[in-house]
């Protein structure tokens, strides 16, 4: 059996994977229209509305990617007691996602990103959110929920958008618990918490995040290698996977192995949420026991699919297997 056929078999096994995803869930709102004139009130375009759509965003997009690929996932995070929060829960439930770990906080608004798009161009993004850390009472509720589910899952995904869910307290408890129970823990990081991820299985920063965390400018391949090695050492993790947009990914493993995985995207329409796809797919792969290099190959292929779609997007098993076949032909 060829390597690609083996990877396609792995994709079929995703339906057995059980992932607990903890993070900053949010609602993505897309307002689409056309522009034919400039406002007389100010030098700005007037958008004639043609459609308005809503999709799960942030950590909820990573969760949606897991579900779209057949995995069983449980979402843990917080929303406000508002219409946006209810809309997000409805969207997740419509996809068959378990939302019992999402807590409603009365005096907190649900994070909403509104993108206004005219033609093929995003004109502006409006963020409505609170970024302060979730208080100890609600953090403990999340931790209690994690403790009740830890024996029923295969991996933990932490999706950190720096909107308050991922706190020092949460990481101090979740990481040791995952290690004690031998569950891989995959982190989509934010720079402000980098050193708090110490001891996780894999972190997946993009190139800008890796540069900011290490203080190393991405001048050439040597500097990128230095970033990866610095992160491995400081975080004491098994793997660092740096995503590099059009230049693919760089994989660093604690045994000294370094690999570069070139991009497979043929057309890039929208990079929104591509990082969520990567972490979601890596979590699925590790949950079914795949080695990290092969997991990175599958995740890279999935990311190449979603950047070819508009808006917050997911990849399906059928699309992923098809693109793996294309990979085999190259």
Going edge to edge, which strands form the sheet with 18-23? 98-105, 72-80, 18-23, 155-159, 185-188, 202-203, 239-243, 249-253, 258-261
The two tokens of residue 102 are: 């999402």
Q: Respond yes or no: is residue 81 known to be catalytic.
A: no
Q: What is the 3-state secondary structure (H, E, C) of 195-260?
A: HHHCCCCEECCEHHHHHHHHCCCCCCHHHHHHHHHHHHHHHCCCEEEEECHHHCEEEEECCCCEEE
For residues 326 and 301, the answer to whether their CB atoms sit within 8 Å is: no
Strand partners, 155: 19
CA distances from 16 to 20, 38, 120, 284, 302 (A): 13, 53, 38, 9, 19
For residues 113 and 26, the answer to whether their CB atoms sit within 8 Å is: yes
**Which residues lie below 8 Å from residue 323, measured CB to CB, with a gap of 6+?**
264, 301, 302, 304, 305
The two tokens of residue 238 are: 């098994």
For residues 105 and 163, the answer to whether their CB atoms sit within 8 Å is: no
Q: What is the 3-state secondary structure (H, E, C) of 166-201?
A: CCHHHHHHHHHHHHHCCCCEEEECCHHHHHHHCCCC
Q: Which of 127, 270, 276, 325 is catalytic?
A: 276
**Which residues lie below 8 Å from residue 165, measured CB to CB, with a gap of 6+?**
22, 23, 24, 25, 59, 77, 78, 134, 142
CA distances from 310 to 3, 168, 195 (A): 30, 35, 34
Pairing of strands 18-23, 98-105: unpaired
Residue with tokens 């994709």: 11
The two tokens of residue 235 are: 């975080």
Catalytic residue positions, numbered: 276
């Amino acid at each position: 059996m060829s390597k690609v056929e083996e990877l396609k078999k792995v994709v079929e096994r995703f339906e057995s994977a059980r992932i607990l995803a903890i993070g900053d869930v949010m609602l993505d709102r897309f307002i689409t229209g056309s522009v034919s004139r400039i406002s007389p009130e100010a030098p700005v375009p007037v958008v004639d509305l043609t459609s308005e759509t809503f999709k799960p965003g942030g950590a909820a997009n990573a969760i949606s990617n897991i579900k779209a690929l057949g995995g069983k996932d449980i979402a843990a995070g917080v929303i406000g007691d508002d219409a946006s929060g209810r809309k997000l829960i409805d969207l997740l439930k419509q996809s068959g996602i378990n939302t019992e770990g999402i807590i409603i906080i009365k005096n907190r608004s649900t994070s909403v990103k509104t993108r206004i798009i005219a033609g093929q161009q995003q004109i502006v993004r409006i963020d409505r959110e609170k970024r302060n850390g979730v208080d100890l009472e609600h953090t403990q509720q999340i931790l209690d929920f994690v403790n009740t589910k830890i024996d029923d899952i295969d991996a933990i995904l932490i999706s950190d958008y720096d909107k308050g869910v991922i706190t020092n307290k949460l990481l101090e408890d979740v990481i040791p618990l995952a290690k004690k129970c031998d569950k891989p823990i995959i982190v989509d990081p934010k720079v402000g918490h980098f050193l708090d991820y110490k001891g996780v299985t894999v972190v997946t920063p993009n190139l800008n995040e890796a540069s900011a965390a290490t203080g190393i400018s991405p001048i050439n391949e040597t500097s990128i290698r230095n970033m990866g090695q610095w992160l491995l050492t400081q975080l004491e993790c098994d793997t660092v996977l740096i995503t590099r947009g059009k230049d693919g990914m760089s994989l660093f493993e604690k045994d000294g192995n370094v690999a570069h995985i070139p991009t497979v995207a043929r057309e890039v329409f929208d990079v929104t949420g591509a990082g969520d796809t990567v972490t979601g797919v890596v979590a699925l792969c590790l949950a079914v026991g795949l080695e990290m290099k092969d997991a990175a190959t599958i995740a890279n292929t999935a990311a190449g699919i979603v950047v070819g779609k508009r808006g917050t997007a997911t990849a399906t098993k059928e699309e992923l297997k098809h693109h793996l076949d294309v990979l085999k032909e190259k």
